[in-house]
Chains A and B, each alone.
Chain A
Amino acid sequence: MAATQSDNRKSANVDREAPGAAPTHHLSEELLLDYAAGVTDEAVGVLIATHLTLCPVCRARADQLDALGGVMMDRLTPSPLSEDAFDRLMARLDADAPGDDAPLRHDIDMRAPGGGRDGRGGDDDALMSGGGASDAVLPRVLQRYVPARVEDIDWTPIGLGVRRFDLSITGRSRATMLYVPAGRAVPQHTHEGNEYVLVLQGAFTDCCGHFGRGDVGIADSDLDHRPVAELGQDCICLAVTDGPLRLTGLLGRAFNRFVKF
């Protein structure tokens, strides 16, 4: 499957996007549908939500799929509730202290109505908005998993100036932040399944073209498809594998390949 849509391909020589340029490499229909249906792993969901923050095109596509979900649910044969269901609900409403609404108010959003932060996600709330941090690099959905400011990330050096930070996340898929100095290859590792790489700062190039902030590419073991950070600015990206990750050979042959750039 292709998360890359290179119809709007740019010259691989472009060093840097104009600030605020919209992404041109989008999420695949498959990723968006799985996200709308609610079956993506947390790591993949973080990558998707990060792209949606940065990409109005995919945001509109995702809204359409939510609307499809609404139509689908509305077409289901209704399943009758127990007789006292409504009365029990009203009892709970009446027991609802008026103050209960208050912490939710800043948080109200039709895109996140049941987003797990309702009434019991106090910690997340504090993390997400308590600091009110606005970071030029990290969208807020990522700041739930990563220190709000890039400078505060506790990177692990993995050689040749490349650094990584593994997100603590549930599920099978893994998410890792990568810091790749300008001109170096994004490190290669073997894994089953797909690996998606979303650019947060700088840019990289692979056979499919130029990937700037917000763009999502696929990295796989095919060397031609292996991203290399462009010159000009160090590249920070979010890499997500939707299969188990094997870290053996991280510093192997792939690292020697950046010389071609």
Chain B
Amino acid sequence: MKTTGTGNAEQETERAAADRSEPVEPGPEEHAAWMRAVAQERSKVAFARLFDHFAPRIKAYLVRSGSDMGAAEELVQEAMLIVWRRAESFDRAQASVATWMFTIARNKRIDAYRRMSRPELDPDDPALAPQPEPMQDDSVGADETAQAIRTAIADLPEEQAEMLRLAFYEDLAHSEIAEKTGLPLGTVKSRLRLAIGKMRGLVDDDLR
């Protein structure tokens, strides 16, 4: 389903060739390296590369979930400002860059459109229950997890993939997906459960 290179000529010049064919497009390794350069060296070149890759996707995500173009542009700016300011806090063992970008974009969207901040646990909370030993094993990193997820959802039946798109892109809760599609709520739930079950299965296999 992925297409790239949608005519942003200016940004495309230097990596146009790479963008035409997916396999050589910069992957998680490069993304993480750019993040490191931003965090450690405040590298604006690396930041520009992150911007080129992620900003148009963040914008696409915001537009899909209901932003008009102008609002989406502004939210992209704010999201990328957070990336710049908080680059140091990015922890590759915990999340891939794509995951981190998604959480930033999602929270920006919640701030702007739901007029609330998303309740989040405080990682420094003394009440935080520690991970049991087996789960602390970070030998398999977040990038591998993301790769397993990518594989899992690439193979999903269309009816399940569509439910995931409605859930993640269109700002719809389970009940609203049912309303919008005319499907029974039970069907929506079971398709999403199947999709996520498959993902969790592959990820967990991958961790063994």
Contacts and interface: CB of A to CB of B under 8 A. Distances in A.
A108 B118 contact: no
Residue in B3, B119, B149, B197 whose Cβ sees the most chain A Cβ within 10 Å: B119
A109 interface: yes
A12 interface: no
A75 B111 contact: no
B36 interface: no
Interface residues of B, number: 97
A128 B122 CA distance: 9
B164 interface: yes
A68 B153 contact: yes
B81 A92 contact: yes
Interface stretch (A40-48, A157-165, A251-259): A40-48
A30 B123 contact: no
Interface in B37-73: 44, 48, 51, 55-61, 63-64, 72-73
Contacts of B103: 66, 69-70, 110-114
A7 interface: no
Contacts, number: 284
Nearest to A142: B119
Interface in B1-59: 1-4, 6-8, 10-11, 44, 48, 51, 55-59
Interface of A: 1, 20, 22, 29-30, 33-34, 36-40, 42, 45-46, 48-50, 52-56, 59-61, 63-83, 85-86, 88-90, 92-93, 96, 100-101, 104, 106, 108-118, 121, 124, 128-129, 134-136, 138-141, 144, 170-171, 214
18 contacts: A30-B192, A38-B109, A60-B131, A60-B135, A68-B149, A70-B96, A70-B146, A73-B61, A74-B57, A77-B3, A79-B63, A86-B11, A92-B77, A104-B86, A110-B91, A114-B108, A116-B118, A134-B127
